[in-house]
Amino acid sequence: MKNQVENQKQIFRIDIGKSVLDDLRSRLANTRWPDQVENAGWNYGTNKEYLEELCDHWLHRFNWKDQEEYLNSFPQFKVEIDDTHLHFLHIKGEGKKNIPLLLTHGYPDNFIRFLKLIPLLTKADSQGLAFDLIIPGIPGFGFSSIPSRAGMNTERIAAILAALMHDVLGYEKFVAHGGDWGSSITEQLALHHKHLLTAIHMTEIPFRHLFTIQKDELTEPEKKYLQAGRQWQQKEGAYALIQGTKPQSLAYGLNDSPAGLAGWIIEKFQSWSDCDGHLDKVFTKDELLTNITIYWITQTINSAFRLYYEAMQEVSDPSKNPITKVAIPTAIAIFPKDMVPAPREYADRIFNIQQWTNMPHGGHFAAMEAPELLANDIRKFVSGIVEKQH
């Protein structure tokens, strides 16, 4: 895919108008709450008492302008690539040798997933190694523009990010890291833009491989993994099916009700993180609400859903995205409370695994939950790659 860069990057600052925030507060104040059975906990979905508490904090104590000031403390830009106005952070490293590192987020988060990694990776280690960090909002998320045409899938997003790194920022080679959709996009970068990639690092095997791997001659750990994946799908996967089949129908309610939006998003943070059922053990309310507020003010929940729809087309027709083993050196860090942690044998079939780490704690949102563990794993891997090149 050839991408057209329409103009050079422009400095960007977040500045949400008072009318948008006043409307948000009005809607929160007038929420019509549903009923809940006794002792429901989180068994039926998002717990009502917790959501009421969160929305009360959102209405009375959360200050978006404080969060906006914090986000604007990082250098942000926009550039037009392939009819997409791409928002990204670009933070230069402080080392003698700075390795460009693309960090790609997933759902239900956005570019803020990686903010805790910035001070950990931009500072130089004892060898003078640091990272230039490039943190985009993928198309349809956050402050990147909403695609108006069908077909914005992981392969097309990878092409846009490759153009960002090479054509806009001038990097001849870079390392890519991703989680959730970010891992799928990182895989597509390694497959279709391998001349630009030094190495890739991910926090899981892209989920599509649960549906595409050949089932013959699997080891026992692999068979258990596939069985766990099927069980997870039945118990937890309904959200992906509706987002992947009828995203527009779901979006009407969530784009209109901030409490509904929060209820839909927050349940994933509760069930996918290493919080032992208690979100406040891992995330602050302001942290969670900054993520949700970005979805609200940008009206991107629908476009975020559509990425599932595009992916569903590929899974239903594997010829659209055939499985090819990734040759680029790959590291995977497995966090134990992620959705369905995979065994190494399974990853070896798909990637050129050079480093495999089973982490002691953490879940799906590793960069937010355990940033030191993740940053150290990335450093260890990239340092080894750099040493081999010299």
Catalytic one of 193, 308, 338, 346: 308
Residues 6+ apart with CB under 8 A from 149: 83
Render pLDDT for 339-379 as a digit per residue (tens, 0 to 9): 999 999 999 999 999 999 999 999 999 999 999 999 999 99
The answer to whether residue 390 is catalytic is: no
Render pLDDT for 177-223 as a digit per residue (tens, 0 to 9): 999 999 999 999 999 999 999 999 999 999 888 776 666 678 999 99
pLDDT band at 316 (very low <50, low <70, confident <90, very high): low
CATH label of the domain that carries residue 354: 3.40.50.1820
Catalytic one of 82, 109, 180, 377: 180
Render pLDDT for 80-91 as a digit per residue (tens, 0 to 9): 999 999 999 999
* Domain count across the chain: 1
In the predicted structure, residue 1 carries a pLDDT above the cut 60? no
Catalytic one of 90, 177, 364, 377: 364
Question: What is the Cα–Cα distance from 284 to 23, expressed in whole angstroms?
Answer: 24
Q: Is 151 inside any structural domain?
A: yes
Structure token pair of residue 272: 């996918």
Which 8-state DSSP code applies to residue 280?
G
Q: Is 2 inside any structural domain?
A: no
Q: Which residue has the tokens 């978006």?
A: 64
Cross-strand partners of 98:
130
Q: What pLDDT, on the 0 to 100 scale, is given for residue 276?
A: 96
**Does residue 198 sit in helix, strand or coil?**
strand
Domain that holds residue 244: 10-389
Q: What pLDDT, on the 0 to 100 scale, is given for residue 387?
A: 76
- Once rounded to an integer, what is the mean pLDDT over residues 224-251? 94
Name the percent of the chain lying above pLDDT 90. 88
Q: Are 359 and 386 in contact (CB under 8 A)?
A: no
Q: Is 5 inside any structural domain?
A: no
Burial tier of 334 (Cβ tally within 10 Å: 0-12, 13-18, 19+): buried
Q: Which stretches does DSSP call E strand in 13-170?
A: 76-81, 84-91, 97-104, 129-136
Structure token pair of residue 257: 């009700």
Q: Is 128 inside any structural domain?
A: yes
Q: Is 297 inside any structural domain?
A: yes
Q: Is 177 inside any structural domain?
A: yes
- Once rounded to an integer, what is the mean pLDDT over residues 245-270? 98
In the predicted structure, residue 104 carries a pLDDT above the cut 80? yes
Q: How far is CA 316 from CA 10, 45, 244, 250, in A?
A: 39, 28, 11, 21
Q: Is 1 inside any structural domain?
A: no
Q: What pLDDT, on the 0 to 100 scale, is given for residue 372?
A: 99
The answer to whether residue 180 is catalytic is: yes
pTM given for the model: 0.96
In the predicted structure, residue 64 carries a pLDDT above the cut 70? yes
Render pLDDT for 126-154 as a digit per residue (tens, 0 to 9): 999 999 999 999 999 999 999 999 999 99
The answer to whether residue 70 is catalytic is: no
Q: Is 4 inside any structural domain?
A: no
Considering only CA atoms, which of 102, 28, 38 is closest in space to residue 64? 28
The residue ranking higher by pLDDT, 281 or 3, is 281
